[in-house]
Structure 1
Amino acid sequence: MSRTLTDARGWMQQGTKLLLASVDGLAPASYDAPSGLPGWSRRHLVAHVAANADALCNLVHWAATGEKTPMYASLEERAAGIARGARLPAEELAAWTHESSERLETAMAALPFERWQAEVVTAQGRTVPASEIPWMRSRETCVHAVDLATGVGFADLPKEFLAALVVDIKAQRGLDTVPDGRLPDLAAYLAGRPYTLAEAPELGPWL
């Protein structure tokens, strides 16, 4: 399916609401519990999502001004930022998540229409138009809202988002065919998350 900038902006906003509601529902002690991502606590996951919003703000600034501002100075700096964030008290970590999400939303709302076609470079080295930034953030917020393991599942995500996610991951993984199944299960399977599809070959984690 084709997706538009308006679609991605809407999914990003819906995903942000789900994510922030999940974060706000965490008791301080539960931040230390495992997330749905192997080896990461909820602390690490929340820090990653907060840092991602700040990093995407850099790309919006790049698009707006033409000034080259990469998402992260380096992969090492990215990892160090997540580690620092994971050591914050729960209240500060939650506040950072809210504030970085708000900064990103404000920056996107102020970006002139013509600047959405400006080219920026992702952390993976891909050159993309700035219109990809909301899609990148919608994936982070929606999928990681599930990974927080607070009761949100793929079935709670927007159907149109799931359909676009399936197309995106199939392309990234180089898959021509996928198993039959309900859309939420198919999206979970392709993302390397728990699924209930029968006789589906295992895939590694994605995102």
Structure 2
Amino acid sequence: MDFAALPLPERLLITQRGTAFFARRLSELTDDELDGDTLLPGWTRRHLVAHVGYNAAALCRLLDWASSGVETPMYESAEQRGREIDEGATLPPAAIRNLFTHTAARLAERWRSMPASAWDSLVRTAQGRTVPASETAWMRTREVWIHAVDLGNGGRFGEFPDVVLDGVLADVVTLWRARDRGAGLSLCVDGRPSIEIQASEPTTTSVSGPLAAVVRWATGRGAVGVDIKGEETSPAWL
């Protein structure tokens, strides 16, 4: 199932469902628990919530670029992005929660008010890719669904819509291939043909299981519900 092939309103609905999924997980955490670790090494929940909040603000800048034609990068630099997250993580708990809520609402409003002609306008992501403004729906979708799991308080890949799981897996495989990673790796989702990451290499590691479990492993969130023959750790993809 291809996320990009869905009508834009459906894509935005899935994005908003992901935002609600993240918001539920966040609401279940006490203020003290915001100091706890996430599934991302070196980041507390404070860092993660700040990151997700500032990501929404950065996507608003891309939508402003698409609407006005005036170049407005997501971030001034990678260093500025990192400082922003570190500083955001020091905010009081109520302010961190408000950062997420308010920036998510602002992004939703930007999408609602986008001129129809602006959705095809080209903008540049923080990774340097040139994409249409409509790509912001997928960029945010991937962000909120995966990071809801990263909060580490019960979110599961099995709660994702299949179209999100398929999109994440496609992104991971594409990036592995582009960066020449995953030699000898074969992914075997139940009921589907296997995916050979580097087809020219003989298989040395196979990972098989349900779609959600394979995606969890592929994104580096652990081996839960998969059968692994070979290397236990997935290659880095970001």
Structure 1 length-normalised TM: 0.94
Q: Over residues 66-88 of structure 1, what are the superposed CA-to-partner deviations in whole Å (9 max), with x where a residue is unaligned?
A: 11000001111100100110000
Partner of 2:201: none
Query: Greater relative contact order (Cα 8 A, min sep 6): structure 1 or 2?
Result: 1
- Structure 1 pair 153–206 and aligned structure 2 pair: CA distance change class (3 A): farther
Partner of 1:188: 216
The residue identity in structure 1 corresponding to 2:118 is R
Is 2:112 the partner of 1:81? no
Identical pairs, percent: 37
More strand by share: 2
The residue identity in structure 1 corresponding to 2:219 is A
Partner of 2:204: none
Unaligned segments of structure 2, at least 5 residues: 183-194, 198-206
Give matches, 1:37-186, under 5 Å. 37-174=40-177, 176-177=195-196, 179-186=207-214
Query: 155-164 or 170-179, which moves further after superposition?
Result: 170-179
The residue identity in structure 2 corresponding to 1:153 is R
Unaligned segments of structure 1, at least 5 residues: none
Query: 8-17 or 131-140, which moves further after superposition?
Result: 8-17
Q: Over residues 72-106 of structure 1, what are the superposed CA-to-partner deviations in whole Å (9 max), with x where a residue is unaligned?
A: 01111100100110000111000110000000010
The 1-side partners of 2:117 and 2:223 are apart by: 41
SS of the residue corresponding to residue 227 of structure 2 reads coil
The 2-side partners of 1:152 and 1:205 are apart by: 22
Query: 131-140 or 158-167, which moves further after superposition?
Result: 158-167
Partner of 2:234: 203
Partner of 1:24: 27
SS of the residue corresponding to residue 161 of structure 1 reads helix
The 1-side partners of 2:158 and 2:171 are apart by: 18
- Structure 1 pair 89–99 and aligned structure 2 pair: CA distance change class (3 A): same
The residue identity in structure 1 corresponding to 2:97 is A
Q: CA deviation at 1:206?
A: 4.2
The 2-side partners of 1:96 and 1:206 are apart by: 28
The 1-side partners of 2:53 and 2:235 are apart by: 24
Partner of 1:8: 11
The 2-side partners of 1:128 and 1:25 are apart by: 35
The 2-side partners of 1:156 and 1:195 are apart by: 17
The 2-side partners of 1:32 and 1:130 are apart by: 35
CA contact under 8 A between 1:33 and 1:41: conserved in structure 2? Answer: yes
Give the superposed CA RMSD. 1.5
For these two proteins, the number of residue pairs brought into alignment is: 207
Q: CA deviation at 1:108?
A: 0.8
SS of the residue corresponding to residue 127 of structure 2 reads coil
Q: CA deviation at 1:195?
A: 2.2
Q: CA deviation at 1:8?
A: 2.8
Q: CA deviation at 1:10?
A: 2.2
Computing the radius of gyration from Cα coordinates, the structure with the larger value is: 2
The 2-side partners of 1:173 and 1:116 are apart by: 29
Q: CA deviation at 1:177?
A: 2.0
The residue identity in structure 1 corresponding to 2:234 is L
Structure 2 length-normalised TM: 0.83
Q: CA deviation at 1:205?
A: 4.5
Q: Over residues 144-190 of structure 1, what are the superposed CA-to-partner deviations in whole Å (9 max), with x where a residue is unaligned?
A: 00000110110111122112221222112116526321011111111
